[in-house]
Amino acid sequence: MWYTGPMSNTPFQIALIGSGVMGEVLAKGILAHQLCAPQELLITSPNVKQLARLAAEIGCATTTDNRAALDAEVILLAVKPGHLPSVLDQLQPGLTDHKPLILSIIAGATLATIAMQTGPDVPIVRVMTNTACLVGKGMSVLAPNPHVSPEQLARAEALFSAVGETVVSREEMLDAVTGLSGSGPAYIFLIAETLIDAGVLQGLPRAMARQLVLQTMIGSAELLRETGQHPGSLRDMVTSPGGTTITGIQVMEEYKVRAALLKVVEAATQRSAELGHKVEQAAKARRPH
């Protein structure tokens, strides 16, 4: 077994299971916001290369033994959905007396699916976040189960605030959240890519088209946020009679951009529910009979 970190029985504040893209970004956010000291953060994963790099870069403790996470007050699950059942199998024996706060960012893993393996009374918060966490601008929606205390929920919010904004919601909302803000960055990237190409088609140099599109997106989002105005009112403000903007909007309506976006989020929401069902079936298949 690979292990770097305190050799005493010092409990960790936070244990992150999974050292991939999200594990790394959350670890860095947690330490940047001083939510715990590096030596109070444990990262577990089978990927010894990733662990060695993270230990060297951020000074956290690391191990390949997921059971070491049971020494922490908070366990954050950041593995792919397919690895969840085996990880919970490893943790389960240690959860009978000790009930750490479990946070999961695993797409499709419901509170009930996780509780099926952790056993009853374990405080769990299911979180749907997005890739913008990588630049500290993530959108994380947190759904706690009834065993989570207000202090634990505040702690979970602080943790995800380190990588962006947070909202607390009921779990029933999470498929729609997945379809909207979870998958949302990919929709925005596709729109950005297309607008850049559109600028190039009209003769703009690509670098210039990219700068124009990004600043227009950022500026429009900031304007929406800062004014708090309805998007339609802000659009009206720049749509002069018989002008260029209304001509462009006419084409957007003709090509049913609104209808397409409504369908996009609906389809992604339905897919999230289907994938959740699959994760649940996998967990049921492992449950002792």
83/235 with CB nearer ligand NAP: 83
Query: What are the φ/ψ torsions at residue 33 (nearest 5 degrees)?
Result: -95, 10
**In the complex, least distance from residue 15 CB atom to ligand NAP, rounded to whole angstroms:** 11
Distances (CA, A) of 204 to 46, 51, 210, 213: 48, 45, 10, 12
Residue ranges in the chain assigned as alpha helix (H): 21-32, 48-58, 84-91, 111-118, 150-161, 174-177, 184-201, 206-227, 231-237, 244-254, 257-286
Give me the 187-226 binding string for ligand NAP, x by CB under 6 A, dash otherwise. ----------------------------------------
CB-count exposure of residue 172 (10 Å: 0-12, 13-18, 19+) = exposed
18/144 with CB nearer ligand NAP: 18
45/145 with CB nearer ligand NAP: 45
**In the complex, least distance from residue 25 CB atom to ligand NAP, rounded to whole angstroms:** 8
- According to the binding rule CB under 6 A, does residue 18 interact with ligand NAP? yes
11/46 with CB nearer ligand NAP: 46
70 CB-near residues (< 8 Å, 6+ apart): 15, 91, 94, 95, 98, 100
**In the complex, least distance from residue 129 CB atom to ligand NAP, rounded to whole angstroms:** 5
Cα–Cα distance between 213 and 199 in angstroms, integer? Answer: 9
| Binders in 140-169 for ligand NAP, by CB under 6 A | none
- According to the binding rule CB under 6 A, does residue 130 interact with ligand NAP? yes
Per the rule left: phi > 0, alpha: psi between -120 and 50, beta: everything else, 139 is beta
| Binders in 25-84 for ligand NAP, by CB under 6 A | 44-47, 50, 66, 78-81, 83
Looking at this protein, which amino acid is placed at residue 113?
Answer: T
**In the complex, least distance from residue 209 CB atom to ligand NAP, rounded to whole angstroms:** 26
16/209 with CB nearer ligand NAP: 16
104/145 with CB nearer ligand NAP: 104
**DSSP letter assigned to residue 5:** S
53/235 with CB nearer ligand NAP: 53
- The vertex-127 CA angle with 126 and 128, nearest 5°, equals 130
| Binders in 81-110 for ligand NAP, by CB under 6 A | 81, 83, 86-87, 105-107
**In the complex, least distance from residue 152 CB atom to ligand NAP, rounded to whole angstroms:** 21
Task: Please compute Rg for the chain using Cα positions.
Answer: 22
Looking at this protein, which amino acid is placed at residue 28?
Answer: K
Cα–Cα distance between 97 and 23 in angstroms, integer? Answer: 27
26/209 with CB nearer ligand NAP: 26
Cα–Cα distance between 123 and 152 in angstroms, integer? Answer: 8
| Binders in 252-281 for ligand NAP, by CB under 6 A | none
CB closest to ligand NAP, residue no: 20
Query: Which residues contact ligand NAP (rule: CB under 6 A)?
Result: 17-23, 44-47, 50, 66, 78-81, 83, 86-87, 105-107, 129-131, 182
